Amino acid sequence: MSLLLACFGCGLMFGAGLLISGMTQPEKVQGFLDAFGAWDATLAFVMAGAVAVAATGFALARRRGAPVFASSNLWPARSDIDMPLVAGAVLFGLGWGLVGICPGPALVNLAGLSLPIVVFVVAMALGMIGFGLLPTRSASSGTANPAVASRADG
Amino acid sequence: MHNLTALSGLLGGALIGLATAGLMLLTGRIAGVSGIFGGLLAWQPGDRAWRLAFVAGLMAAPLIASLAGAPLPRPAMSANLALIAVGGLLVGFGSRMGSGCTSGHGICGFARLSVRSIAVTLIFMGTAIVTVAVVRHGFGS
């Protein structure tokens, strides 16, 4: 129960951060990506703030060794850079650039139930399910427990 | 440089970082939204509850803000629903194929100094910059 409450609380804080930073607004995101137009640097400040605090917390987590409400820290295990990774990043970047929305802001915005967001989230879910249905699940050689640790980095 | 909102960006970013740090310190999980949400849609059952709790938290943020008087988020987006659907498909498929998105690779990956995640972030950011350049400025890239 405490584990679920912690996850809910962290999701809530994450969502609040996205709202306060303006990153739920596609025009702020596309304003950053528009390097040849009226450039809006806000996203860089969001990343800087987030990475600085997260890195501090991660250093603390490494020193503690184990989390409070679970048995171990599930750090992403892979360090290789293969073709699916690169191709996935390119496809993701295409979609992100086209619409200015990525998964976190999409789910926060879903609460407003505007038609474009609903369309985006349904399509995003279908894209995720579609990838899961592909016969070869990339080059993951299952060392971690798939029921606990996702092979993904995020 | 237009429309820069540096202070709210830094503050909101710090909150995102705190949530990311908190999820690792409390539960040992990486705060990667595409991985958390994608895992909800995957076949293997067993670890859905924590994912659902995190996603519920994300969606509760604007709902709680609306209780305090803030409007629910209805972002200004293209009226072209087909374009939005294509974008959503690409974001969903690409984030799973590439093992993460802006949060998992961008924030957590940089915070872990993971070369793999930093490479992915530079690739998707570069692709997105070229995409916006082409869409907004023709062959501006």
Greater model confidence, B57 or A150: B57
Length of chain A as a residue count: 154
B128 pLDDT higher than 60: yes
pLDDT in tens, B95-121: 999 999 999 999 999 999 999 999 999
The CA distance from B118 to the nearest CA of chain A, in Å, is 11
Q: How far apart are CA A32 and CA A43, in angstroms?
A: 6
Residue A97: which of B42, B89, B128 has the nearest Cβ? B128
Give first-to-last CA distance, chain B, whole Å: 19
Taking CB atoms and an 8 Å limit, are A153 and B12 in contact across chains? Answer: no
Q: Which residues of A touch B48 (CB under 8 A)?
A: none
pLDDT of A139 = 45
Handedness of CA A116, A118, A121, A125 (dihedral sign): negative
What is the model's pLDDT at position A145?
40
The letter for the amino acid at B83 is L
Chain A residues in contact with B58 by the CB 8 A cut-off are 11-12, 14-15, 18, 104, 107-108
Q: How many CA atoms lie within 13 A of A109 on its CB side?
A: 25
> Do B95 and A138 make contact, defined as CB atoms within 8 angstroms?
no
pLDDT for position A146: 42
Is A52 in Cβ contact with B123 (below 8 Å)?
no
Q: Of A126, A132, A140, A127, give the one whose Cα is nearest residue A92.
A: A127
A21 near A46, Cβ under 8 Å?
yes
Of A10, A55, A90, the CB nearest to B31: A10
Among A70, A88, A131, the residue with its CB nearest the CB of B28 is A70
**Please, are residues A55 and B108 in contact by the beta-carbon 8 Å criterion?**
no
pLDDT classification of A137: cutoffs 50, 70, 90: low
ipTM: 0.95
How far is CA A14 from each of CA A28, B24, B126, rounded to the nearest angstrom? 18, 13, 25
